[in-house]
Amino acid sequence: MIDGLPSDVAAPGKALLAGYFVAVPERLTVAGLPRTERLTSASDCLINRFPDDGRWFGTEQEALSACLPLHLPLEACLYALLVPCEHVGGFAADIRAAGTDEPVLLAHLDGQGAGEAARQVAEGGHKLGWEVLGYDCGLLHTWLCNDLYEEGRLHLGVDTDERGLLPDRQTALRVAAWANTREDTKPVTWFPGALIEWDIPVESRLGPATTEIPVPPVRQPR
């Protein structure tokens, strides 16, 4: 087991790192969706990603460096998405079918440097939970934005936590399998993914507020 990874995706041979991203959790009060003050997702639909929606990074250092010139909210955090190996093929196939440029995602999903990527994720990150995602036309969608949340609660008896995430891999597998049987969602291959979060601050031009009282400059005699 790799320390710091979810126990059910702990071995590099059982899960791959899709990539790193920087995002700000969102307050969500929309009818039909979980009500939360800190919605967290790898999807491009419901939260703000930086520096651009859909932007993925190969390492945490690349993600943090890209944010340095920006003006980011203080709530911005560094995240990573892990995908169980048995679901990587469908994810990668949908990327290729879309014909979009995803060098970071495809490099990781094709297994290049997978072991090293898993070790990097183990350093300092902690699991948040699971979600169900699908790739379509350059965007990573979540099951939450496909009108599946209320029906999932009703038919599967599942619910999300204060982050809008599912509690474990088995629950995410059930939701993904159920979503893939439906014909009223985005034309994607739904798959489970685990989110990892870091507590390290994302430095940018918008730094933390200061409580120090400014000292007036000393006037020099003429």
174 and 156 in contact (C-beta within 8 Å)? Answer: yes
* pLDDT, tens digit, 9 for 90 and up, residues 69-93: 998 898 999 999 999 989 999 999 9
pLDDT digits (tens, 9 = 90+) for 112-167: 555 555 555 656 788 999 999 999 988 899 999 888 999 999 999 999 999 999 99
Let me know: does 130 contact 194? Beta carbons within 8 Å: yes
pTM reported for the whole predicted model: 0.84
Q: How far apart are CA 64 and CA 80, in angstroms?
A: 12
Dihedral (Cα; 172, 178, 183, 185), 10-degree rounding: -20
| Tokens, residue 203 | 């430095």
Whether 210 has a pLDDT exceeding 60, the answer reads no
Reported as a single tens digit per residue, the pLDDT across 171-191 is: 999 999 999 999 999 899 999
Paired with 196 in beta bridges are 80, 127
